[in-house]
Structure 1
Amino acid sequence: YTADGTLVGEEASVPLQTVFSQPVTFQTYKVQPGDTISGITKKFGLKNISTLIAVNDIDNVRQLCAGQKLKIPSIDGLYYTVKPGNSLTGISAKYNVTMEDLLDVNELEAAELKAGQQLFIPGAKLESSALQNALGELFKRPIAAKFRFTSMFGPRLDPFSGVKSYHTGIDMACPQGTPILASSSGTVSFAGYSNIYGNYVIIRHSNGYQTLYAHMSKILAKKGQWVSQGTRIGLVGSTGYSTGPHLHFTVYKNGQLVNPMTLIK
């Protein structure tokens, strides 16, 4: 598929204007072992993988599992929840869809809308960041050099005391001074020191995400700085509560811990 989710080599068998004149219908599909989003998309004659991701509110395609039930629309597109003050004219212009198509696809008899009403927008696609996030491409490994994982996310024995504890991120061991890279674009919300994390940086990203990079030997980023994905923000070290040179990498979504391995490419 291309960067916007369109399947490569797929040609529409029916002119879009003909398809859009029919009301959207839905069917249920039970995911089979080995299924992928792109495969299911093709199976049902859809052209863009973001349709199934959006309609089924899939946060991460890697978590798609056999037995899961998906809602399959008859045409490509996504849902839009009407907000106070919205008009059919405005929504039509925003998504570059004719009012006639919106009326026909949603079987609307009038152009009047109510806040909270759901419309199916034919041909609409997810925004790039939302699609990247669902595909596990929004974040990249913060270490580009050779490293080894020394501790994963979840329950573990504390490396100093041997007591059972919960590890809030992943540890990536590599030589002192190895560059640490911003896993995704965002704004540096903190750059400083603590007894636990040593020298560390927190970056605020879109969609409610934050990433934390700890135990640096040196911080290269500054609070308030905008950094692009791959920007050097520090150097690997062993400051704070650490047994040796490594990067401790933590991800939050809306303030809740997330296993980084479900996100990084």
Structure 2
Amino acid sequence: MARDYYDDMHDRNPSRRKRRRGPSKTLLGVIILGIAVCVAVIILWLQFSAALEVKPAQVIESQPPAAEEIVPQPVTPPKPSEPVHQAQRLDVRPPSSKSVQFTSHIVQAGEDLHSIALQYGLKVQTLVSINEIRNVQAVTEGAALKIPDRDGRYYTVREGDMLSTIVRTQNLPFGWVTLQELNGLANEQIKVGDKLFIPDTSSTASSQYTDIAPIQFIRPTPGAIIARFDQESGVRIRTSNDEPIKAAADGEVADTGFEANGQSRYVILSHEGGYRTGYHNLGSVEVIGGSSVVQGESLGLSLEPYLFFSIEQLGIPLDPEQFF
């Protein structure tokens, strides 16, 4: 029985060997197949790569004509141009049709400020202000006058001024953008000393016309000017009580009296060249009508808070600050 068992064992081993050899052949076939697949993939990749290498060459060859078409394009793209236009609207505003326009007028024989103002439909005071006239009698034949296309005055920019603050302090019925347009400004930047045209009023101005007053005026009191020339009258100069008020120039006392309020007093002086000076809001008067005075002579004592001082020539109000 032992032999039979041994024989059985002997018979089983060959069959096991056969079963082990079978999988080895299959595995070899799989490996060979895998190698074949890899080779095929490599071949396909090489062919695909070769095709890709040809395409860039074709693109490169087609680029020059495309580049020629792109060269003129930078002007037209909509997005880059939008910020430029926006900046132009804010900072490089071209002169508007609303801008005040000026012409030059050469005074002819027989003309005077009244006839010239009538010719252009303007107020006499506009011509006086825009041309910084200090001596009306100096407007003679051959003089060049600056003529605006509307009534108005110049405002001299001071320290700390902006267009918006000027609109507010001058009580203008429009905004700072309109003021910018009226003056043909490229932007809202202004500097001390600039002249801005303020419509419908008249004040000091720079001009092509230069004159020389026949007499020189001095300040009647050293206080600060707290209200400037307003087209029709004069300036207010800060004072305290009982300050001496001096004659601005040699002249004659044309009139003295009480103001409409019945409390303060005034003095009017006449001077050569058709000038008259007025001193209002005085506490007392030290001169009498018809008397002569010299420049710097006391006319009376002041009341606080201000002296109202005016200069006119031939009935036309002038800006006192032009003479100081």
TM-score bracket relative to the smaller structure: 0.3 to 0.5
Greater helix content: 2
Greater strand content: 1
- What is the TM-score of this pair, normalised by structure 2? 0.38
